[in-house]
Amino acid sequence: MPTNGSPDETIPAVAGDPDWLPPEINVTVAHPARVYDYLLGGKDNFSADRALGDAVAKAMPSAREMVRANRAFLGRAVRYLVTEAGVRQFLDVGTGIPTAGNTHEVAQAVAPESRIVYVDNDPIVLTHARALITSDPVGATAFIRADLRDPDTILDAPALRRTLDLGEPVALMLIAILMYIRDEEDPRGLVSALMDALPSGSYLALTHPTADFSPDEAAGAVAATEKGGISFTPRSQAEVAAFFDGLELVDPGVVPILAWHPEGVPPGDPRAAYYYGAMGRKP
């Protein structure tokens, strides 16, 4: 099997061995995907991830409810893209460890021919994805091990070119990922690099945590996350809106995730989840 870190690197799980891990995984250091899995109630995490997740939840007591709200936004956004926008191709960067309601499951439940490329930089994510994610036979899924900070690696990956037709609209999904990119790493430039490669009619959908609703809790979460070795940058509504420069925002614009097409969202304060969500179309 290839072990050179190429984007299409195969990382097979060992059948019948629940304790097997890819050799690249350092379980002593927290990873965003595994912390997120822990906060969602998943089991694919380690003591370092749980310690950081607990520290974040101590600083921000509703953190677990927020990640569930963020996951629910993903489902609503994908359903909108398939049913209202007619999108059949998705590039999901920062996939996270598979759980219920993955992008391909939501999309292919409505349009089985949908094609999805997942991207993550954690080898355990790719291991689980390849083992657990099965496409509808009339559609397709593929997996790339890469980092949002290196858009060329994503765009040049053979798996992407085999799976997606970049002459047709693609939805770029950046769900709870941009907060790990510091301002000096040019997150807007990284988003633009990916969107520039997609044709007219493509969409950007993203969620992003903010300090706008509870500055003290957000500051505590930032401190805990940075202490755990992970960069974490909440952004304001205006800063999130800037990711959509040049795109046509879908109503209702940049809003709290609980207020974005809130069908099925229980009534309550939409600012209870400290995330903004939005979607934009490339003209």
Give the tokens for residue 274.
């400290």
φ/ψ (deg, to 5) at 219? -60, -40
Angstrom distance (rounded) from CA 121 to CA 212: 29
Give the tokens for residue 188.
């807007």
85 torsion bin: left (phi>0), alpha (psi -120 to 50), beta (else): alpha
Angstrom distance (rounded) from CA 124 to CA 28: 14
pLDDT tens per residue, the chain (283 residues)? 222 333 333 333 333 344 455 566 677 889 888 898 899 898 888 999 999 999 999 999 999 999 999 999 999 999 999 999 999 999 999 988 877 789 999 999 999 999 999 999 888 887 777 776 788 999 999 999 999 999 999 999 999 999 999 999 999 999 999 999 999 999 999 999 999 999 999 999 999 999 999 999 999 999 999 999 999 999 999 999 999 999 999 999 999 999 999 988 888 899 999 999 999 999 9
The whole-angstrom distance between residue 247's C-alpha and the CA centroid of its chain comes to 20
Residue type, 195: M
DSSP 19: T
Quick check: 57 and 63 in contact, CB under 8 A?
A: yes
* Model pLDDT, residue 21: 57
Strand-pairing partners, residue 173, are: 92, 205
* Model pLDDT, residue 213: 97
Angstrom distance (rounded) from CA 32 to CA 135: 25
Q: In CATH, what number does 32-281 get?
A: 3.40.50.150
Give the tokens for residue 14.
């060992």
Give the tokens for residue 279.
């979607």
Report cis status (omega within 30 of 0) of the bond before 252: yes
Give the β-pairing of 89-93 and 115-120: parallel
Angstrom distance (rounded) from CA 232 to CA 223: 9
Angstrom distance (rounded) from CA 164 to CA 193: 17
Q: Where are the domains of the chain?
A: 32-281
Angstrom distance (rounded) from CA 8 to CA 184: 29
